Each structure stands twice: as C-alpha cells, then as structure tokens.
Amino acid sequence: MNKGLIFDIQRFSLNDGPGIRTTVFFKGCGLRCRWCHNPESIASYVQLSYDPERCDGCEKCIEFVHGNGIQLIENKAVVDFSIHDRNLDLIEVCPRKAFGRYGDVIDVEKLVFELLKDKDYYATSNGGVTFSGGEALNQWAFIEECARRLKAEGIHLTLDVSGNDPGELIASTTELIDLYLVDYKLSEDELYEKYLGRKYDPLAMLKKLNEANKPVVLRCVLIPGINDSDLHFNGIATIMDQFKNIVQVDLLPYHKLRKRQQFHLVNEREFYDTPDEAMKLLWINKVKDLGILNVTMENQRK
C-alpha cells in the first residue's frame, strides 16, 4: 500500500519514545473513547474543520451552499457538520481561512523524505520515529513500507497503539518495530463498551509482544472516578508481574484539552474532573506500594 492517511507530523517530540523523535499521527481508530484527547483522529477519512474565531461573518460560505447547513448567528457562521463533514470545497471559499481539514493522504516516498530530514537529531539523541494515531496499526501495510526504508537508514522505530487489535496484526510488526507504547485503559470488562465503544482483550496484544521479546512501555491514562480504582492499579501490577518485557509504566493524568476548531465528532465525548497534585501523588504512592518502580507521571520519572 503506497498511500496513508495522516493528520499530523510532530517534530522534536520528547514523550513518544527515547530521544528526540518525529511522531506521525495516523487518522482512523476503531475505538470510541469518551475521553479521547485527539477526537479529530478517529474518523478514517478527511474531515472539514472550522475555526469560528477566524470568521468575520462575510456569508460567502452561506452563499456557496445556498443556505443549506450553514447560517449566520451573532455575525459568525454556524456549521451543521452532519451535512458538511466532508465538504472540503468550503476551504477555498472562505477568504479568512476559517475552514481547514483534518487529514491528508500521503505516499511512502514523501513521508519517508519528511522523516529523514530529522535524521541527525535522531542520531545525536538516540531518538527516532514514532507511528501513532488514531490507531496506527490500522494502516500497517502502509507503515510497513515506510518502516523498511527507515530501518535501512538505521532509524529506531516505535509503534504507539491502543491495545485493540481485531485484525491480529501486531505479530506482523515485530520484525521492524523496536519499541511499543501500549495503552492499558480499563481493568473492568463491563466498562469497555460504555467508555471505549468496544470490548476486547487488553492482554492479547501484550502476550504476542512478550512472545516476540519486544520491549513495551505500558501507558495508563488515569481519570478520577472512572479508572483510578484499586482494582485498576492492581490490574497494572498484575500485568507488570505477568509480562517481563514491560520496561516502564507511564501514568498519564487526564486533562481537558478543548480544541478551538469545530468538526464532526465521531465519538460520544465526555469531560471529567482533572486530578490535582494531591491526587497525582496518591496515584504514584499506590503504584509504588504495589512494587511498580519504573514509573513516570506526565513523562517525568518518579
């Protein structure tokens, strides 16, 4: 597969694996996490975005669609994304550039060229390239082509995945990927469908990576009142005992990241309480009491 769908390339990333990295964010995800920090990554197609702060009420977009799905309220265009989710023609219509897009189709040659621009930074910092998402695993055929070319250049490769692998693709990645960042979201099976939109076995992927002896960083987003229970912390400890290839646990406290741009939301989104410093300290102490020593909080060693 020579084409991939991405929504961002983030250079000089320090939190997606060792050293200085360039992270490629792929669009499309099979989960519907209610707390998703990148909801624009979920849909597996290019989406229209709209920044109302750029709108000056000129009404050119309304004229273009003949009033169908866009109206002017308090001198700002209000867009019905159930109608215009894929109407990318609006991008060129607006003189104020209020419309944009989430997602770009890119070929292997162009992406590899972009990633190799930072090769010197990878070499001096023991860094490399991270494939993230959305769910990067969904576009593995494309990533595999890129990965083979990058490995030929001696680039360290990390794959950041949700833990959901319905296509059982993870085993086919182990020849090329050096490090895995794997989400562990919930320990209670009955909560999966409610908060993630799908039930799956979070251990299935970890078992495959353990069999292949591939190093894993376990990433745990913690949300007060949702998954910060003793049961969940015990679940993390059990996983650490079971899989010796897990080299680190990253605790990632929930935060409310509100996007300025408007777009069609695919998931049922909710906002939760953000943890204060006292709660974060409590979480750290809990995992340490369970014997988990190699742990970071917000990417800082604790």
Tell me: the pLDDT tens digits for 71-89? 999 999 999 999 999 999 9
Contacts by residues 284-293 (CB-CB < 8 Å, ≥ 24 positions apart): 284/251, 286/230, 286/233, 287/233, 287/236, 287/237, 287/249, 287/251, 290/233, 290/234, 290/236, 290/237, 291/237, 291/240, 292/236, 292/237, 292/240, 292/249
CA separation for the pair 76, 73 (Å, rounded): 5
Global pTM value:
0.95
Given a cut of 80, whether residue 35 has pLDDT beyond it is yes
The mean pLDDT value for 184-212 works out to: 95
| pLDDT above 70 coverage of the chain, percent | 99
CA separation for the pair 22, 12 (Å, rounded): 6
Given a cut of 70, whether residue 18 has pLDDT beyond it is yes
Given a cut of 70, whether residue 9 has pLDDT beyond it is yes
Torsion on CA atoms 167, 30, 145, 215, rounded to nearest 10? -80
Question: Which amino acid, one-letter code, is at 270?
Answer: E
| pLDDT above 90 coverage of the chain, percent | 92
> Order of strands across the sheet with 216-222?
104-107, 3-13, 21-26, 128-132, 156-161, 179-183, 216-222, 246-253, 295-297, 300-301
CA separation for the pair 42, 32 (Å, rounded): 8
Q: What is the pLDDT confidence band of residue 1, given thresholds at 50, 70 and 90?
A: low
CA separation for the pair 258, 39 (Å, rounded): 10
